[in-house]
Structure 1
Amino acid sequence: MTVILPFILIAVSLGVIIVIIVRKYPQLLLLDIDSLPEIQQSRKKDIIIKKRAEKESKHLYTKLFESLKPAIQKLKDIQLLFRKFVGRIERKSAMEDGKRAKSGSQEYKKQKEKESLTLVQDASQDVDQDDFATAEKKYLAALKADAKNKDAYKGLAHVYYQQGQKQEAKETYKFILQLDDNDEETHLKLGEMAEEEGDIQEAVECYQQAVILNPHNPQRFVKIYDLLFGIEQYETALEAIEQALELEPQNPKYLDNFVETSIIIGRKDLAEEGIQRLRMINPENQKLQTFKQRIEEL
Protein backbone atom coordinates (compact mmCIF):
# COMPACT_ATOMS: atom_id res chain seq x y z
CA MET A 1 0.00 0.00 0.00
CA THR A 2 2.86 2.30 0.85
CA VAL A 3 4.42 1.62 -2.58
CA ILE A 4 1.19 2.32 -4.51
CA LEU A 5 0.40 5.59 -2.73
CA PRO A 6 2.94 7.76 -4.63
CA PHE A 7 1.63 6.58 -7.98
CA ILE A 8 -1.90 7.45 -6.87
CA LEU A 9 -0.80 10.97 -5.90
CA ILE A 10 0.93 11.47 -9.26
CA ALA A 11 -2.14 10.31 -11.15
CA VAL A 12 -4.39 12.65 -9.17
CA SER A 13 -2.06 15.61 -9.85
CA LEU A 14 -2.02 14.91 -13.59
CA GLY A 15 -5.78 14.70 -13.59
CA VAL A 16 -6.11 18.07 -11.92
CA ILE A 17 -3.72 19.64 -14.46
CA ILE A 18 -5.63 18.16 -17.37
CA VAL A 19 -8.93 19.48 -16.03
CA ILE A 20 -7.48 22.99 -15.67
CA ILE A 21 -6.06 22.94 -19.22
CA VAL A 22 -9.33 21.72 -20.68
CA ARG A 23 -11.26 24.52 -18.94
CA LYS A 24 -8.78 27.27 -19.96
CA TYR A 25 -8.10 26.02 -23.55
CA PRO A 26 -10.76 28.25 -25.24
CA GLN A 27 -9.29 31.32 -23.53
CA LEU A 28 -5.79 30.39 -24.67
CA LEU A 29 -7.03 30.16 -28.24
CA LEU A 30 -8.47 33.68 -28.03
CA LEU A 31 -5.25 35.17 -26.66
CA ASP A 32 -3.65 37.65 -29.23
CA ILE A 33 0.10 37.22 -28.91
CA ASP A 34 0.76 40.22 -31.17
CA SER A 35 -1.05 42.50 -28.74
CA LEU A 36 1.34 41.83 -25.93
CA PRO A 37 3.41 44.97 -25.09
CA GLU A 38 6.64 42.99 -25.05
CA ILE A 39 6.01 41.63 -28.55
CA GLN A 40 5.04 45.05 -29.97
CA GLN A 41 8.11 46.71 -28.44
CA SER A 42 10.36 44.03 -29.89
CA ARG A 43 8.88 44.45 -33.38
CA LYS A 44 9.21 48.25 -33.26
CA LYS A 45 12.83 47.79 -32.34
CA ASP A 46 13.33 45.46 -35.33
CA ILE A 47 11.74 48.03 -37.70
CA ILE A 48 13.95 50.83 -36.38
CA ILE A 49 17.06 48.68 -36.74
CA LYS A 50 16.05 47.69 -40.29
CA LYS A 51 15.45 51.31 -41.36
CA ARG A 52 18.74 52.40 -39.83
CA ALA A 53 20.56 49.60 -41.64
CA GLU A 54 18.95 50.60 -44.96
CA LYS A 55 19.90 54.25 -44.41
CA GLU A 56 23.49 53.37 -43.54
CA SER A 57 23.68 51.03 -46.53
CA LYS A 58 22.46 53.79 -48.88
CA HIS A 59 24.94 56.25 -47.37
CA LEU A 60 27.80 53.78 -47.78
CA TYR A 61 26.79 53.13 -51.42
CA THR A 62 26.72 56.86 -52.18
CA LYS A 63 30.06 57.37 -50.48
CA LEU A 64 31.55 54.41 -52.35
CA PHE A 65 30.24 55.73 -55.69
CA GLU A 66 31.75 59.17 -55.03
CA SER A 67 35.08 57.64 -54.05
CA LEU A 68 35.10 55.56 -57.24
CA LYS A 69 34.43 58.52 -59.55
CA PRO A 70 38.16 59.41 -59.98
CA ALA A 71 38.96 55.77 -60.70
CA ILE A 72 36.15 55.55 -63.28
CA GLN A 73 37.35 58.75 -64.97
CA LYS A 74 40.92 57.47 -64.94
CA LEU A 75 39.74 54.26 -66.59
CA LYS A 76 38.05 56.31 -69.33
CA ASP A 77 41.26 58.31 -69.82
CA ILE A 78 43.26 55.09 -70.08
CA GLN A 79 40.83 53.76 -72.70
CA LEU A 80 41.21 56.97 -74.72
CA LEU A 81 45.02 56.81 -74.50
CA PHE A 82 44.93 53.17 -75.55
CA ARG A 83 42.78 54.04 -78.57
CA LYS A 84 45.24 56.75 -79.57
CA PHE A 85 48.12 54.32 -79.07
CA VAL A 86 46.44 51.74 -81.28
CA GLY A 87 45.88 54.43 -83.92
CA ARG A 88 49.59 55.31 -83.93
CA ILE A 89 50.56 51.63 -84.16
CA GLU A 90 48.20 51.14 -87.10
CA ARG A 91 49.60 54.20 -88.89
CA LYS A 92 53.14 53.01 -88.27
CA SER A 93 52.24 49.53 -89.49
CA ALA A 94 50.64 51.03 -92.59
CA MET A 95 53.80 52.98 -93.43
CA GLU A 96 56.06 49.97 -92.84
CA ASP A 97 53.87 47.73 -95.00
CA GLY A 98 53.95 50.41 -97.66
CA LYS A 99 57.75 50.51 -97.54
CA ARG A 100 57.92 46.74 -97.97
CA ALA A 101 55.61 46.98 -100.94
CA LYS A 102 57.91 49.60 -102.44
CA SER A 103 60.81 47.17 -102.44
CA GLY A 104 58.83 44.68 -104.55
CA SER A 105 58.44 44.50 -108.29
CA GLN A 106 57.01 47.38 -110.32
CA GLU A 107 54.02 45.27 -111.22
CA TYR A 108 53.31 44.55 -107.57
CA LYS A 109 53.75 48.23 -106.77
CA LYS A 110 51.24 49.28 -109.42
CA GLN A 111 48.80 46.68 -108.17
CA LYS A 112 49.09 48.00 -104.62
CA GLU A 113 48.73 51.61 -105.75
CA LYS A 114 45.56 50.71 -107.61
CA GLU A 115 44.27 48.87 -104.55
CA SER A 116 45.05 51.92 -102.42
CA LEU A 117 43.19 54.26 -104.78
CA THR A 118 40.13 52.00 -104.74
CA LEU A 119 40.12 51.91 -100.95
CA VAL A 120 40.34 55.70 -100.80
CA GLN A 121 37.37 56.03 -103.14
CA ASP A 122 35.35 53.58 -101.03
CA ALA A 123 36.33 55.40 -97.85
CA SER A 124 35.21 58.72 -99.33
CA GLN A 125 31.74 57.26 -99.84
CA ASP A 126 31.71 56.12 -96.21
CA VAL A 127 32.65 59.65 -95.15
CA ASP A 128 29.73 61.04 -97.18
CA GLN A 129 27.47 58.75 -95.14
CA ASP A 130 29.14 59.82 -91.86
CA ASP A 131 30.42 56.27 -91.33
CA PHE A 132 33.77 57.48 -90.06
CA ALA A 133 34.76 54.25 -88.30
CA THR A 134 34.54 52.24 -91.54
CA ALA A 135 36.26 55.03 -93.48
CA GLU A 136 39.14 55.06 -91.00
CA LYS A 137 39.76 51.33 -91.49
CA LYS A 138 39.75 51.71 -95.28
CA TYR A 139 42.13 54.68 -95.22
CA LEU A 140 44.53 52.71 -93.01
CA ALA A 141 44.25 49.75 -95.39
CA ALA A 142 44.97 52.11 -98.29
CA LEU A 143 48.14 53.29 -96.54
CA LYS A 144 49.25 49.71 -95.99
CA ALA A 145 49.03 49.25 -99.73
CA ASP A 146 50.70 52.58 -100.56
CA ALA A 147 52.45 54.51 -97.78
CA LYS A 148 52.76 57.62 -99.98
CA ASN A 149 49.12 58.00 -100.91
CA LYS A 150 48.49 61.62 -99.89
CA ASP A 151 44.76 61.35 -100.46
CA ALA A 152 44.62 58.49 -97.95
CA TYR A 153 46.44 60.61 -95.37
CA LYS A 154 44.17 63.57 -96.06
CA GLY A 155 41.09 61.39 -95.74
CA LEU A 156 42.40 59.87 -92.52
CA ALA A 157 43.14 63.32 -91.07
CA HIS A 158 39.63 64.46 -91.99
CA VAL A 159 38.13 61.40 -90.29
CA TYR A 160 40.15 62.02 -87.14
CA TYR A 161 39.00 65.63 -87.11
CA GLN A 162 35.35 64.68 -87.55
CA GLN A 163 35.63 62.20 -84.67
CA GLY A 164 37.07 64.85 -82.38
CA GLN A 165 40.61 63.44 -82.48
CA LYS A 166 42.10 66.80 -83.41
CA GLN A 167 45.61 66.06 -82.19
CA GLU A 168 45.76 62.94 -84.39
CA ALA A 169 44.38 64.98 -87.30
CA LYS A 170 47.06 67.64 -86.82
CA GLU A 171 49.84 65.03 -86.62
CA THR A 172 48.58 63.42 -89.83
CA TYR A 173 48.45 66.75 -91.69
CA LYS A 174 51.99 67.54 -90.55
CA PHE A 175 53.14 64.14 -91.80
CA ILE A 176 51.64 64.98 -95.20
CA LEU A 177 53.90 68.05 -95.32
CA GLN A 178 56.87 65.75 -94.74
CA LEU A 179 55.85 63.95 -97.90
CA ASP A 180 55.10 67.17 -99.77
CA ASP A 181 55.77 70.56 -98.19
CA ASN A 182 54.14 72.26 -101.19
CA ASP A 183 50.66 70.93 -100.44
CA GLU A 184 48.58 74.12 -100.27
CA GLU A 185 45.44 72.40 -99.00
CA THR A 186 47.27 70.91 -96.03
CA HIS A 187 48.75 74.27 -95.02
CA LEU A 188 45.25 75.72 -95.13
CA LYS A 189 43.84 72.89 -92.99
CA LEU A 190 46.53 73.41 -90.37
CA GLY A 191 45.81 77.15 -90.47
CA GLU A 192 42.12 76.55 -89.86
CA MET A 193 42.85 74.22 -86.94
CA ALA A 194 45.28 76.72 -85.39
CA GLU A 195 42.66 79.44 -85.77
CA GLU A 196 40.06 77.26 -84.02
CA GLU A 197 42.49 76.73 -81.15
CA GLY A 198 43.05 80.48 -80.84
CA ASP A 199 46.68 80.28 -81.93
CA ILE A 200 46.54 83.25 -84.31
CA GLN A 201 50.28 83.47 -84.93
CA GLU A 202 50.41 79.81 -85.93
CA ALA A 203 47.36 80.28 -88.15
CA VAL A 204 48.95 83.29 -89.89
CA GLU A 205 52.14 81.33 -90.56
CA CYS A 206 50.18 78.45 -92.09
CA TYR A 207 48.15 80.80 -94.29
CA GLN A 208 51.34 82.59 -95.35
CA GLN A 209 52.76 79.27 -96.53
CA ALA A 210 49.60 78.72 -98.56
CA VAL A 211 49.95 82.22 -100.05
CA ILE A 212 53.55 81.53 -101.05
CA LEU A 213 52.37 78.42 -102.88
CA ASN A 214 49.45 80.27 -104.49
CA PRO A 215 49.98 84.06 -104.52
CA HIS A 216 47.11 84.66 -106.94
CA ASN A 217 44.23 84.22 -104.50
CA PRO A 218 43.29 87.57 -102.90
CA GLN A 219 41.10 85.89 -100.29
CA ARG A 220 44.18 84.30 -98.74
CA PHE A 221 45.65 87.78 -98.16
CA VAL A 222 42.35 89.05 -96.78
CA LYS A 223 42.27 86.13 -94.34
CA ILE A 224 45.72 87.04 -93.09
CA TYR A 225 44.65 90.70 -92.87
CA ASP A 226 41.61 89.84 -90.74
CA LEU A 227 43.68 87.77 -88.30
CA LEU A 228 46.43 90.37 -87.95
CA PHE A 229 43.93 93.20 -87.59
CA GLY A 230 42.19 91.23 -84.86
CA ILE A 231 45.38 91.04 -82.78
CA GLU A 232 46.18 94.71 -83.52
CA GLN A 233 49.20 94.06 -85.72
CA TYR A 234 48.02 96.85 -87.99
CA GLU A 235 51.18 97.54 -89.99
CA THR A 236 51.55 93.91 -91.06
CA ALA A 237 47.81 93.76 -91.69
CA LEU A 238 48.14 96.78 -94.00
CA GLU A 239 50.76 94.93 -96.06
CA ALA A 240 48.39 91.97 -96.41
CA ILE A 241 45.47 94.10 -97.63
CA GLU A 242 47.77 95.89 -100.07
CA GLN A 243 48.63 92.51 -101.59
CA ALA A 244 44.93 91.74 -101.96
CA LEU A 245 44.39 95.12 -103.69
CA GLU A 246 47.14 94.35 -106.18
CA LEU A 247 45.05 91.38 -107.30
CA GLU A 248 41.68 93.17 -107.11
CA PRO A 249 42.42 96.94 -107.18
CA GLN A 250 38.77 97.98 -107.45
CA ASN A 251 37.35 95.82 -104.69
CA PRO A 252 35.46 98.30 -102.42
CA LYS A 253 35.70 96.08 -99.35
CA TYR A 254 39.48 95.78 -99.70
CA LEU A 255 39.78 99.55 -100.18
CA ASP A 256 37.61 100.14 -97.13
CA ASN A 257 39.95 97.96 -95.03
CA PHE A 258 42.96 99.71 -96.55
CA VAL A 259 41.70 103.18 -95.57
CA GLU A 260 40.62 102.05 -92.09
CA THR A 261 44.00 100.52 -91.30
CA SER A 262 45.92 103.48 -92.76
CA ILE A 263 44.02 105.84 -90.46
CA ILE A 264 44.69 103.65 -87.41
CA ILE A 265 48.48 103.67 -87.94
CA GLY A 266 48.49 107.36 -88.84
CA ARG A 267 49.38 107.00 -92.54
CA LYS A 268 47.47 110.04 -93.80
CA ASP A 269 48.98 109.78 -97.28
CA LEU A 270 47.79 106.20 -97.77
CA ALA A 271 44.38 106.97 -96.30
CA GLU A 272 43.85 109.86 -98.75
CA GLU A 273 44.97 107.65 -101.62
CA GLY A 274 42.45 105.03 -100.55
CA ILE A 275 39.64 107.58 -100.36
CA GLN A 276 40.37 108.78 -103.91
CA ARG A 277 40.19 105.23 -105.18
CA LEU A 278 36.95 104.61 -103.28
CA ARG A 279 35.42 107.79 -104.71
CA MET A 280 36.27 106.70 -108.25
CA ILE A 281 34.56 103.34 -107.72
CA ASN A 282 31.50 104.62 -105.86
CA PRO A 283 31.07 108.37 -105.33
CA GLU A 284 27.96 107.70 -103.22
CA ASN A 285 29.83 105.61 -100.67
CA GLN A 286 28.48 106.70 -97.28
CA LYS A 287 31.80 106.07 -95.54
CA LEU A 288 33.67 108.67 -97.60
CA GLN A 289 32.61 111.60 -95.44
CA THR A 290 33.37 109.73 -92.22
CA PHE A 291 36.80 108.72 -93.47
CA LYS A 292 37.51 112.30 -94.59
CA GLN A 293 36.72 113.68 -91.14
CA ARG A 294 38.93 111.11 -89.44
CA ILE A 295 41.82 111.87 -91.83
CA GLU A 296 41.55 115.59 -91.08
CA GLU A 297 42.01 114.76 -87.38
CA LEU A 298 45.34 113.03 -88.01
Structure 2
Amino acid sequence: MLYNIIPLIIIVVSLGGILYILFRKLPDVSKLDVDDLLEVKQARARNSLLEDRLLRKIKDLKLFKQSGKVNQFFSRVAQYSKLSKRRIQEQIEARMHVKQIKYLTEKGENGTEEVIGVLLAEAETLKQREAFDEAEKKYLNIIKLSPRSVEAYRGLGDVYMRERDWSDTEATLEHLLKIAATEKKILVEDFADLAEVKKNLQKMPEALHYIEKAREMEPNNPKYLDFQLEACLACENIEKAKESLRNLRAINPENKKLQEYGDRIKNAYLS
Protein backbone atom coordinates (compact mmCIF):
# COMPACT_ATOMS: atom_id res chain seq x y z
CA MET A 1 0.00 0.00 0.00
CA LEU A 2 2.79 2.37 1.00
CA TYR A 3 4.66 1.61 -2.26
CA ASN A 4 1.60 2.72 -4.26
CA ILE A 5 1.29 6.08 -2.43
CA ILE A 6 4.96 7.08 -2.78
CA PRO A 7 4.90 7.61 -6.61
CA LEU A 8 1.72 9.67 -6.27
CA ILE A 9 3.34 11.85 -3.63
CA ILE A 10 6.38 12.42 -5.93
CA ILE A 11 4.12 13.48 -8.82
CA VAL A 12 2.17 15.92 -6.64
CA VAL A 13 5.35 17.45 -5.23
CA SER A 14 6.83 17.88 -8.73
CA LEU A 15 3.71 19.62 -10.05
CA GLY A 16 3.72 21.90 -7.05
CA GLY A 17 7.33 22.86 -7.72
CA ILE A 18 6.56 23.67 -11.32
CA LEU A 19 3.57 25.84 -10.42
CA TYR A 20 5.64 27.67 -7.80
CA ILE A 21 8.33 28.54 -10.37
CA LEU A 22 5.76 29.74 -12.95
CA PHE A 23 4.01 32.02 -10.51
CA ARG A 24 7.33 33.57 -9.50
CA LYS A 25 8.39 34.29 -13.13
CA LEU A 26 4.98 35.54 -14.35
CA PRO A 27 5.63 39.21 -13.35
CA ASP A 28 8.94 39.17 -15.28
CA VAL A 29 7.24 37.79 -18.42
CA SER A 30 4.56 40.45 -18.29
CA LYS A 31 7.26 43.13 -18.17
CA LEU A 32 9.01 41.73 -21.30
CA ASP A 33 9.16 44.35 -24.14
CA VAL A 34 8.42 42.64 -27.46
CA ASP A 35 10.17 45.49 -29.27
CA ASP A 36 13.49 44.38 -27.74
CA LEU A 37 13.40 40.89 -29.29
CA LEU A 38 16.09 40.34 -32.00
CA GLU A 39 13.69 38.63 -34.40
CA VAL A 40 11.22 41.51 -34.16
CA LYS A 41 13.96 44.07 -34.77
CA GLN A 42 15.19 42.20 -37.84
CA ALA A 43 11.68 41.90 -39.27
CA ARG A 44 11.06 45.61 -38.81
CA ALA A 45 14.37 46.47 -40.43
CA ARG A 46 13.45 44.36 -43.48
CA ASN A 47 10.07 46.06 -43.76
CA SER A 48 11.73 49.48 -43.55
CA LEU A 49 14.12 48.59 -46.36
CA LEU A 50 11.26 47.34 -48.55
CA GLU A 51 9.30 50.52 -47.93
CA ASP A 52 12.30 52.69 -48.85
CA ARG A 53 12.87 50.68 -52.03
CA LEU A 54 9.22 50.99 -53.02
CA LEU A 55 9.28 54.74 -52.45
CA ARG A 56 12.39 55.06 -54.62
CA LYS A 57 10.71 53.10 -57.42
CA ILE A 58 7.66 55.34 -57.25
CA LYS A 59 9.90 58.39 -57.39
CA ASP A 60 11.84 56.98 -60.36
CA LEU A 61 8.55 56.22 -62.13
CA LYS A 62 7.49 59.85 -61.74
CA LEU A 63 10.82 61.03 -63.17
CA PHE A 64 10.46 58.45 -65.95
CA LYS A 65 7.09 59.86 -66.88
CA GLN A 66 8.28 63.45 -66.63
CA SER A 67 11.26 62.82 -68.91
CA GLY A 68 9.00 61.50 -71.67
CA LYS A 69 10.53 58.04 -71.67
CA VAL A 70 7.11 56.48 -71.30
CA ASN A 71 6.00 58.02 -74.60
CA GLN A 72 9.25 56.91 -76.19
CA PHE A 73 8.74 53.38 -74.92
CA PHE A 74 5.18 53.11 -76.21
CA SER A 75 6.24 54.71 -79.50
CA ARG A 76 8.81 51.95 -79.96
CA VAL A 77 6.21 49.34 -79.12
CA ALA A 78 3.88 50.82 -81.74
CA GLN A 79 6.65 50.88 -84.35
CA TYR A 80 7.52 47.27 -83.64
CA SER A 81 3.85 46.35 -83.91
CA LYS A 82 3.56 48.07 -87.31
CA LEU A 83 6.78 46.42 -88.50
CA SER A 84 5.54 43.00 -87.45
CA LYS A 85 2.22 43.61 -89.17
CA ARG A 86 3.99 44.69 -92.36
CA ARG A 87 6.25 41.63 -92.32
CA ILE A 88 3.26 39.36 -91.88
CA GLN A 89 1.54 41.10 -94.80
CA GLU A 90 4.66 40.70 -96.95
CA GLN A 91 4.83 37.00 -96.11
CA ILE A 92 1.17 36.54 -97.03
CA GLU A 93 1.68 38.38 -100.33
CA ALA A 94 4.80 36.33 -101.08
CA ARG A 95 2.91 33.07 -100.50
CA MET A 96 0.02 34.22 -102.67
CA HIS A 97 2.50 35.25 -105.36
CA VAL A 98 4.15 31.80 -105.32
CA LYS A 99 0.75 30.12 -105.62
CA GLN A 100 -0.20 32.43 -108.47
CA ILE A 101 3.03 31.72 -110.37
CA LYS A 102 2.62 27.98 -109.78
CA TYR A 103 -0.96 28.10 -111.05
CA LEU A 104 -0.02 30.06 -114.17
CA THR A 105 2.98 27.83 -114.91
CA GLU A 106 0.77 24.74 -114.78
CA LYS A 107 -1.32 26.26 -117.59
CA GLY A 108 1.57 25.69 -120.02
CA GLU A 109 2.82 28.17 -122.60
CA ASN A 110 -0.02 30.64 -122.08
CA GLY A 111 0.58 30.44 -118.35
CA THR A 112 4.27 31.22 -118.82
CA GLU A 113 3.40 34.37 -120.74
CA GLU A 114 1.09 35.42 -117.94
CA VAL A 115 3.84 34.71 -115.38
CA ILE A 116 6.23 36.93 -117.33
CA GLY A 117 3.60 39.66 -117.47
CA VAL A 118 3.17 39.52 -113.70
CA LEU A 119 6.92 39.55 -113.08
CA LEU A 120 7.48 42.44 -115.51
CA ALA A 121 4.88 44.51 -113.69
CA GLU A 122 6.53 43.74 -110.36
CA ALA A 123 9.98 44.61 -111.73
CA GLU A 124 8.68 47.91 -113.12
CA THR A 125 7.18 48.79 -109.72
CA LEU A 126 10.47 48.04 -107.98
CA LYS A 127 12.35 50.13 -110.53
CA GLN A 128 10.03 53.11 -110.02
CA ARG A 129 10.61 52.78 -106.27
CA GLU A 130 14.35 52.88 -107.02
CA ALA A 131 14.77 49.42 -105.48
CA PHE A 132 17.29 48.69 -108.22
CA ASP A 133 18.89 45.58 -106.72
CA GLU A 134 15.51 43.88 -106.35
CA ALA A 135 14.40 45.03 -109.79
CA GLU A 136 17.59 43.65 -111.34
CA LYS A 137 17.00 40.25 -109.72
CA LYS A 138 13.42 40.24 -110.97
CA TYR A 139 14.45 41.03 -114.56
CA LEU A 140 17.16 38.35 -114.47
CA ASN A 141 14.59 35.82 -113.27
CA ILE A 142 12.37 36.76 -116.20
CA ILE A 143 15.29 36.27 -118.60
CA LYS A 144 15.82 32.79 -117.13
CA LEU A 145 12.19 31.97 -117.87
CA SER A 146 12.25 33.65 -121.27
CA PRO A 147 15.79 34.26 -122.64
CA ARG A 148 14.44 36.31 -125.56
CA SER A 149 12.23 38.64 -123.55
CA VAL A 150 12.81 42.05 -125.14
CA GLU A 151 10.89 43.77 -122.34
CA ALA A 152 13.09 42.17 -119.66
CA TYR A 153 16.33 43.26 -121.34
CA ARG A 154 14.91 46.73 -121.91
CA GLY A 155 13.91 47.03 -118.27
CA LEU A 156 17.25 45.64 -117.09
CA GLY A 157 19.11 48.15 -119.29
CA ASP A 158 17.03 50.95 -117.79
CA VAL A 159 17.97 49.80 -114.27
CA TYR A 160 21.67 49.88 -115.10
CA MET A 161 21.29 53.23 -116.84
CA ARG A 162 19.61 54.78 -113.80
CA GLU A 163 22.47 53.50 -111.69
CA ARG A 164 24.90 55.00 -114.22
CA ASP A 165 26.51 51.62 -114.69
CA TRP A 166 27.51 52.34 -118.27
CA SER A 167 29.40 49.11 -119.00
CA ASP A 168 26.53 46.84 -117.97
CA THR A 169 24.05 49.12 -119.72
CA GLU A 170 26.08 48.93 -122.92
CA ALA A 171 26.25 45.12 -122.90
CA THR A 172 22.54 44.80 -122.06
CA LEU A 173 21.31 47.23 -124.70
CA GLU A 174 23.52 45.76 -127.41
CA HIS A 175 22.07 42.33 -126.68
CA LEU A 176 18.60 43.87 -126.57
CA LEU A 177 19.04 45.28 -130.08
CA LYS A 178 20.02 41.87 -131.45
CA ILE A 179 16.93 40.21 -129.97
CA ALA A 180 14.60 43.11 -130.77
CA ALA A 181 15.73 43.12 -134.40
CA THR A 182 14.82 39.45 -134.73
CA GLU A 183 11.53 39.93 -132.92
CA LYS A 184 10.87 43.19 -134.78
CA LYS A 185 10.36 45.04 -131.51
CA ILE A 186 12.97 47.77 -131.76
CA LEU A 187 11.98 51.14 -130.31
CA VAL A 188 13.60 54.44 -131.20
CA GLU A 189 14.52 54.80 -127.53
CA ASP A 190 16.67 51.66 -127.76
CA PHE A 191 18.99 53.40 -130.25
CA ALA A 192 18.87 56.72 -128.40
CA ASP A 193 19.68 55.14 -125.04
CA LEU A 194 22.60 53.19 -126.46
CA ALA A 195 23.90 56.39 -128.11
CA GLU A 196 23.79 58.09 -124.69
CA VAL A 197 25.67 55.20 -123.11
CA LYS A 198 28.35 55.28 -125.80
CA LYS A 199 28.75 59.01 -125.24
CA ASN A 200 29.30 58.46 -121.50
CA LEU A 201 31.87 55.81 -122.33
CA GLN A 202 33.69 58.30 -124.57
CA LYS A 203 32.90 56.23 -127.67
CA MET A 204 31.69 59.11 -129.82
CA PRO A 205 31.85 57.42 -133.27
CA GLU A 206 29.59 54.66 -131.96
CA ALA A 207 27.37 57.21 -130.26
CA LEU A 208 27.01 58.98 -133.62
CA HIS A 209 26.12 55.69 -135.31
CA TYR A 210 23.29 54.89 -132.91
CA ILE A 211 21.86 58.40 -132.79
CA GLU A 212 21.68 58.31 -136.59
CA LYS A 213 19.74 55.06 -136.26
CA ALA A 214 17.35 56.84 -133.90
CA ARG A 215 16.98 59.72 -136.42
CA GLU A 216 16.08 57.25 -139.14
CA MET A 217 13.02 56.41 -137.09
CA GLU A 218 12.33 59.99 -135.94
CA PRO A 219 14.12 62.35 -138.36
CA ASN A 220 12.51 65.53 -137.00
CA ASN A 221 13.17 64.93 -133.34
CA PRO A 222 15.06 68.07 -132.15
CA LYS A 223 16.65 66.22 -129.24
CA TYR A 224 18.16 63.62 -131.54
CA LEU A 225 19.31 66.28 -134.02
CA ASP A 226 21.01 68.19 -131.23
CA PHE A 227 22.75 64.99 -130.08
CA GLN A 228 23.82 64.21 -133.66
CA LEU A 229 25.32 67.66 -134.10
CA GLU A 230 27.31 67.35 -130.87
CA ALA A 231 28.55 63.90 -131.91
CA CYS A 232 29.57 65.16 -135.37
CA LEU A 233 31.63 67.96 -133.84
CA ALA A 234 33.22 65.54 -131.34
CA CYS A 235 34.14 63.23 -134.25
CA GLU A 236 35.33 66.22 -136.32
CA ASN A 237 32.87 65.31 -139.07
CA ILE A 238 32.33 68.90 -140.14
CA GLU A 239 30.30 68.28 -143.29
CA LYS A 240 27.80 66.15 -141.41
CA ALA A 241 27.79 68.74 -138.61
CA LYS A 242 26.80 71.45 -141.13
CA GLU A 243 24.01 69.26 -142.45
CA SER A 244 22.77 68.60 -138.91
CA LEU A 245 22.85 72.32 -138.15
CA ARG A 246 20.72 73.09 -141.23
CA ASN A 247 18.19 70.45 -140.22
CA LEU A 248 18.13 71.69 -136.62
CA ARG A 249 17.64 75.30 -137.75
CA ALA A 250 14.72 74.22 -139.94
CA ILE A 251 13.03 72.14 -137.27
CA ASN A 252 13.81 74.22 -134.19
CA PRO A 253 14.66 77.79 -135.21
CA GLU A 254 14.34 79.05 -131.64
CA ASN A 255 17.08 76.78 -130.36
CA LYS A 256 19.43 78.98 -128.32
CA LYS A 257 22.44 76.87 -129.22
CA LEU A 258 22.25 77.50 -133.00
CA GLN A 259 24.68 80.42 -132.89
CA GLU A 260 27.07 78.47 -130.71
CA TYR A 261 26.98 75.50 -133.07
CA GLY A 262 27.62 77.80 -136.06
CA ASP A 263 30.65 79.33 -134.33
CA ARG A 264 32.05 75.94 -133.43
CA ILE A 265 31.74 74.74 -137.04
CA LYS A 266 33.56 77.88 -138.29
CA ASN A 267 36.32 77.40 -135.72
CA ALA A 268 36.64 73.77 -136.78
CA TYR A 269 37.18 74.93 -140.39
CA LEU A 270 39.80 77.47 -139.34
CA SER A 271 41.69 74.92 -137.30
Query: By the TM > 0.5 criterion, same fold?
Result: yes
User: Who is 2:157 aligned against?
Assistant: 191
Decide which of 103, 111, 126 is 1:141's aligned counterpart. 103
Q: TM-score, normalised by structure 2?
A: 0.58
User: Who is 1:157 aligned against?
Assistant: 119
Q: Check whether the contact 2:173–2:194 (CA below 8 A) recurs between aligned residues.
A: yes
For 1:260, give the aligned amino acid: E
Instruction: State the alpha-carbon separation in 1 of the partners of residues 39 and 263 from structure 2.
Output: 101
Q: Does 1:254 align with 2:224?
A: yes
Query: Are residues 158 and 219 of structure 1, via their aligned partners in 2, closer, same or farther at CA, if it must alter by over 3 Å?
Result: closer
Within 5 Å, which residues of 2 pair with 1:229-248?
Answer: 229-248=199-218
Q: Does 1:283 align with 2:253?
A: yes
Instruction: Give the superposition deviation at 1:194.
Output: 4.6
Q: Check whether the contact 1:262–1:271 (CA below 8 A) recurs between aligned residues.
A: yes
Query: Are residues 9 and 233 of structure 1, via their aligned partners in 2, closer, same or farther at CA, if it must alter by over 3 Å?
Result: same
Please give the per-residue CA displacement for 1:128-151, whole angstroms capped at 9, x wherever unaligned.
xxx675354233223223156441
Q: TM-score, normalised by structure 1?
A: 0.53
User: Who is 2:190 aligned against?
Assistant: 220
Q: Check whether the contact 1:136–1:156 (CA below 8 A) recurs between aligned residues.
A: no
Which one scores higher on RCO, CA 8 angstroms, separation ≥ 6? 1
Unaligned segments of structure 2, at least 5 residues: 1-6, 54-90, 127-133
Decide which of 16, 25, 33 is 1:20's aligned counterpart. 25
Query: Are residues 216 and 176 of structure 1, via their aligned partners in 2, closer, same or farther at CA, if it must alter by over 3 Å?
Result: closer
Instruction: State the alpha-carbon separation in 2 of the partners of residues 268 and 43 from structure 1.
Output: 101
Unaligned segments of structure 1, at least 5 residues: 49-82, 84-130
Instruction: State the alpha-carbon separation in 1 of the partners of residues 121 and 219 from structure 2.
Output: 40
Identity %: 20
Question: Paired residues, what number?
Answer: 211
Query: Are residues 206 and 133 of structure 1, via their aligned partners in 2, closer, same or farther at CA, if it must alter by over 3 Å?
Result: farther
Instruction: State the alpha-carbon separation in 2 of the partners of residues 269 and 215 from structure 1.
Output: 33
Instruction: State the alpha-carbon separation in 2 of the partners of residues 18 and 231 from structure 1.
Output: 118
When Rg is computed on C-alpha atoms for both structures, the one with the higher figure is 2
Instruction: State the alpha-carbon separation in 2 of the partners of residues 41 and 27 from structure 1.
Output: 23
Q: Check whether the contact 1:143–1:149 (CA below 8 A) recurs between aligned residues.
A: yes
Secondary structure, aligned partner of 1:145: coil
Instruction: State the alpha-carbon separation in 2 of the partners of residues 165 and 264 from structure 1.
Output: 35
User: Who is 1:108 aligned against?
Assistant: none
For 2:176, give the aligned amino acid: Y
Q: What is the RMSD of the two structures over their aligned residues, measured on CA atoms?
A: 4.3
Query: Are residues 157 and 18 of structure 1, via their aligned partners in 2, closer, same or farther at CA, if it must alter by over 3 Å?
Result: farther
Instruction: Give the superposition deviation at 1:173.
Output: 2.5
